[in-house]
Homo-oligomer: A and B are copies of this chain.
Amino acid sequence: MNYSQKLKKLSDAVRKRLESAPGCHDWEHTRRVLHNARMIADGEKKADMKVVECAAVLHDIARPEELKSKGKLCHAVIGSELADKFLKNCEFRNEEFIKKVCNCVKTHRYRGGHSPLLIEEKIVYDADKLDSIGAVGVGRAFHFAGRIGAKLHNTEKEALGSDSYSSEDSAYREYLVKLRHIHGKLLTKTGRKVAKQRSDFMHEFFRQLNREVYG
């Protein structure tokens, strides 16, 4: 089996696992993160593209476990252990390669002392963050609001005065509290450049929305 065949087998296995995952961390999210990761790795010349690709495909593999545990388990930590098994099942044999990929999975959440240090780790982290902003981020925020039965829109005061998952939650709340700050957290030069464009687009979207509703 050559690398392309192994990557295909790995992707099929992850797709099967995440296809019915609810909400915004399904297989489509993973596919977009892979797309982002390849784009960033192209800009960051020193990255090992194969490590980046496999890690992007595997980064959310333990989302179902985290969901089942109601957030007690961390999908990044459990995911890095699962990633090792998935890679071996797909005939990856190079221990050093496997370790690098698993570390990307472990550090992609930047929590609990597991922070991205190597360029491949930073790329996967940035690729995941990019999927939260821009037009995709806007779409995900409204899609989520629809899923939990929250409002379409509200004022800044209403949004900031409400809680996550409440009926006064909204895409605008998510934007104000979280999404508008994300671009400043990216770790690679290429990631930051793309994040700036997407973030500006998202700012313009909410300015336009407010003009339409209150202008």
Measuring CB to CB, which residues of chain A are less than 8 angstroms from any residue of chain B? 24, 28, 32, 35, 134-136, 138-147, 149, 151-153, 171, 198, 201, 205-206, 208-209, 212-214
Contacts and interface: CB of A to CB of B under 8 A. Distances in A.
A191 B5 CA distance: 55
Contact of A153 (B139, B144, B149): B139
Interface centre among A140, A153, A208, A209 (most CB of B within 10 A): A208
Closest 3 CB pairs of A and B: A146-B146, A142-B142, A143-B146
A144 to B, nearest CB: 6
Contacts of A28: 151-153
A87 B153 CA distance: 29
Please report whether the interface of chain A is mostly helix, strand, loop or mixed according to DSSP. helix
Given A28-B153, A152-B143, A135 B208 contact: yes
A101 B90 CA distance: 68
A28 B153 CA distance: 8
Given A143-B152, A145-B146, A152-B28, A212 B171 contact: no
A208 B143 contact: no
Contact of A149 (B147, B171, B205, B208): B147
A3 B143 CA distance: 40
Contacts of A136: 152-153, 209, 212-213
Contacts of A201: 208
Contacts of A143: 142-143, 145-146, 152, 171
A177 to B, nearest CB: 17
Contacts of A147: 146-147, 149
Contacts of A32: 212-213
